[in-house]
Structure 1
Amino acid sequence: MAPVQKKVEKKGVKKKEMITVEVKKEIIKKYERGMRVAEIARFYKKSTSTICTILKKKEEIRGLDAAKGVTRISKQRPRVLEDVEKLLLVWINEKQLAGDTVTEGFICEKAKALYADLISKLPGASAESEEGFKASRGWFDNFKRRSGFHSVVRHREAVSLNAKAAEAFATEFQKLMVSECYLPEQVFNCSETGLFWKKIPKRTYVTEEENATAGHKPVKDRLTLLFCANANGDFKVKPLLVYHSKNPPGFKKCKVQKSQFNIMCRSNSKALLTRVFFIEWINEVFGPAVKKYLLEKNLPLRALLVMGNAPAHPPGFEDDLLEEFQFMKVKFLPPNTTPTLQPMDQQVISDFKKLYTKALFQRCFEVTRGTNLTFQEFWKNHFHTVNCLKIIDKAWDGVTKGTLNSAWRKLWPQCVLGHDLGLADDPESAVVEEIVSLGKTMGLELNEDDIQELLEEHGQELTTEELMDLHREQQQEAVEEISAEEEVKKAEKPLTSKEIRKMFLEVLFDESFYKV
């Protein structure tokens, strides 16, 4: 009977479902596009350990094409095209962060440029091979399917500013302020911006130490920030920060929580501000803070939020406001007028970035002073996301009331109190001079033009090498995040009966347990 029973039990055992090579490659592609291990595991109904095992063998899995009898025209081209698409995804993400419109033609031109740049670096490359990739419509459709960016392409808007529309809106807005009796304390503006949080002027890399070695070029790793303040300039709302990593290594290293900072943190694979994040910020940060501020000031409980019509906050989001914040109204700026009318774009964000750079230089000076630390060691071991959040908080706090108020000069000049433009208590030129002075103290060669170039570079396009650096860093952080998730998984794993029995016996025979 025993053998028969054993046979019956085997029949009842569920057969292990094999994962095909094609599915494994899909998993690898989803991960490289930024999808998290836990999300992939849920999607394919597999354990995170199974997904991690597949990712660790990704190079081996990619090489299984030959076993399937796939004919390759060139040994180099398919790998180059893979690299092109990886860098293209990073590039598209950066364009979205900058708020730029991306079209099919724009993407195809960039893909061809990346291909030519990468192929030219291969040994024995020729002009013929550089022109071998046409970025056809078929390739583009397949790229959209593989990458999942089905809605990334939008129609190009007019580049030129609509001066007449801006003027008409400003006139209408000023009339509204009078008719509705809004006070500068009750009117707010918010706007997002990208920040290269590891970026310092180019010429700071040119030192004797780095000429003698390979040197270190800080990656253009970018995050998104949402800033908000009122027209009076006396109240700043806690900023929203979006980064591509949910648990950056710096937080684990410093043993701190994101909630300790005066910044609301969110994350997604593209470091993009989304509608969901924006609504969360409105209901959890903006609404409660504005309500408290108005009550403390003994002002009527009514507020107006002015902002651009960006994808993260399209018309109609007021329906998602909690009932207690229904006193808030929203006014959208017309298309193509934000550079002219958006208060945050009138030197506020620029001044923040100057103050951020100043604090970054101060951090570098404090760490390297009296040591033999190289810049490479500073970036690797002494500057991470925790330092970045501290500096963001310090820089935002440093933007003055005068700067915030005078930023409304073009949209609502009647509310401006006559403050001088710029950093009222810390003039712009003085901030730049201090950055230059700190740099020279550390033996760096730079001047005021270098600082201005740095600010302008926030809007410049990344080179192929910079895209490669950014891709590598994001991949490395993703690997570290996987390790962190595995550690948490192990910690949360329930004890087996054998482990429980062992622990019980240890306590049972521990004499100290019985002592009073």
Structure 2
Amino acid sequence: MSPQKKRSAVTLDVKKAIIEAAAKNNSQTQLAKQFTIPRTTINDILRKKDAILKAIDGGGESKRARIKTGKYSDLEQALLCWIKTVRSENVPITSHLLMEKAKETSSLLKIEGFKASEGWRMNFKHCHLITFKSNQGEAGAIDVESLGKWQQQVLREELAKFSPDDIFNADETRLFWQLLPNKTLAFKGERCTNGKKSKERITVLVGANMSGTEKLPLLVIGKSAKPQCFRNAHVLLNNTANKKAWMTGDVFKMWLENWDKKLKKDERKVLLYVDNCTSHPPKIVLQNIMMNFFVPNSTAMSQVG
């Protein structure tokens, strides 16, 4: 007696092809012969064609055989439609936004007992093949060997001259306050584009000491010298302005000289490390601040070195 041949699962791709072929008036017998699938299986697929097409339209994996449905299928279908609509406009979707939308939708659908938990979120993403995607930038070239020598032979020697409380690092960061996230929930295989990015921004200079016990007051550089949001407000930061909201050599010099005066009054000397960008002029006369520069393109690695 010959062993029984094991039946292979029919993927969603094949099921879709069968449904499309049936729409062209092919009989079930013809379909069974064409796809080498039993007629009973063909009949079952055509009987469930609406559910199969719905699963495919909802992002079902083409190689999957079974249709996975969650406990809250109506809610999940509504969320899938929302994700498709939002992503068609290149709007990023975060996990937090998804959870809030799920809560809102469950309330509108009057679904009782639903909790937008981490477990539900993970299952939803796994079931519907949703992943996080992001656009990655490029880092500058770094000579790791030369950097290591500089850290061992120069940086350590300079740091040894000061207490960790008196060793500071300062750097600027750009805050694009109208910019959408560059990471989004998306279906596998989906091409992600962000569309035109907003260039509205401010520049913020932040600084802290090596021991983590002291943070320097923020310096905010915007386009307005007297922002409306600061009116009648007690602001715990310094602010200045220029047309492009950028750090400039003059602004950096002013900030350093003001800090140097305060340190002189406190009879305190500090070591400050910054990167060597053009807005950090090296020839600034300071009495209580010893300013040094990181090796080019090594700021991120030196900060944690």
TM-score, L = length of structure 2: 0.45
Q: Which has the higher strand share?
A: 2
Q: State the structure with bigger RCO (CA 8 A, min sep 6), 1 or 2.
A: 1
Q: Which has the higher helix share?
A: 1
- From the CA coordinates, give the structure whose radius of gyration is larger: 2
